[in-house]
Amino acid sequence: MENIYDVIIIGGGPGGLSAAIYAGRARMKTLLIEKAFAGGQIAITAEVENYPGSIEHESGASLTERMVAQTVRFGVEKVYETVEAVELEGPVKTVKTSEGSYQAKSVIIATGAYPRLIGCPGEKELTGKGVSYCATCDGAFFTDLEVYVVGGGDTAVEEALFLTRFARKVTIIHRRDELRAAKYLQEQARAHDKIEFMWNSVVTEVKGDGVVEAMVVENINTGERQEILADEDDGTFGVFVFVGLVPNSKLFEGTINMQDGYIITDEDMRTNMDGVYAVGDIRVKTLRQVVTAAADGAIAAIMVDKYISGH
């Protein structure tokens, strides 16, 4: 059993990192597998202002960096590889990646979620050419230009506020006449002189030759369609899409019990399979936050310790 880990954690967002910190600290032989970069959704979040203790305009990237440093301190091994298949039955689990195969007595799934697309014509073709899903990554490209933010949740409003640092004007396009975002964010957005709203509206097409030049927006109450054109001097504008998340759970279909693509766990993060746990945004839960993902991770690691030691 020498090369068998006590626990493999799949995913390096706040849930996975927290599980890694607790598992490492419990002296479990721990491997964290992350496909791209640590942090998950918060790594591309400009500011995390509601994680307890974050009072100095901390970015998601810097919070992540500190969490990663903690995992290193507790001896967690880490690889940046894409998980391609899992075998979760029995006492020894196998996780196959693009680079090889790893075995463990238990697995913590922390694969989170990825941004949902609008799904309209032109969106895919113009991604990276005016259409973006990350204000932190692309906001600066729109300095002094106009920007449209699609969505009405926490992410949309938070990122719209961030984009005001660069853009001349930010218009939030929302499909209802009421935002879903937290009231505190709503108040800031409504009070901001650079932010405007287009209510009851959806984007039905994004147009442009190599770069976004126009967009069709439909009022869902009247059916009226309006073509928004780039200002002549600008030649382009930004379309930042924040219309929710899609769970990253394809790998586990058919083996782990799910509801609408989210993994079902009990309050100790156990799935329907022995030795397999799930934490963070991938889980069926009411509140998807850094603080709840981190709490899930801590609970799962402690439960894994009990599972392995038979207590």
Contact 60, 48 (CB under 8 A): yes
Q: Site for ligand NAP (CB under 6 A): which residue of 130, 152, 238, 275? A: 152
Q: How far from 6 is each of 71, 74, 270, 298, 307, CA to CA, in Å?
A: 15, 14, 16, 16, 10
Q: Site for ligand NAP (CB under 6 A): which residue of 17, 76, 118, 269? A: 118
Q: Tell me: does residue 15 bind ligand NAP (CB under 6 A).
A: no
Place of tokens 């903690």: 70
Cα–Cα distance for residue pair 87/252, rounded to 1 Å: 9
Contact 108, 7 (CB under 8 A): yes
Contact 300, 280 (CB under 8 A): no
Q: How far from 165 is each of 71, 141, 143, 202, CA to CA, in Å?
A: 33, 12, 8, 25
Q: Tell me: does residue 102 bind ligand NAP (CB under 6 A).
A: no
Q: Tell me: does residue 161 bind ligand NAP (CB under 6 A).
A: no
List 6, 138, 281, 296, catalytic entry: 138
CB of 245 to ligand NAP, least distance (A): 5
Q: Site for ligand NAP (CB under 6 A): which residue of 27, 50, 143, 187? A: 50
Burial tier of 156 (Cβ tally within 10 Å: 0-12, 13-18, 19+): buried
CB of 282 to ligand NAP, least distance (A): 12
CB of 141 to ligand NAP, least distance (A): 21
List the interface residues with ligand NAP, window 268-307 (CB under 6 A). Answer: 288-289
Stretch that binds ligand NAP, among 32-40, 122-130, 146-154, 258-266 (CB under 6 A): 146-154
Binding site for ligand NAP (CB under 6 A): 50, 118, 150-156, 158, 175-176, 180, 202, 242-245, 288-289
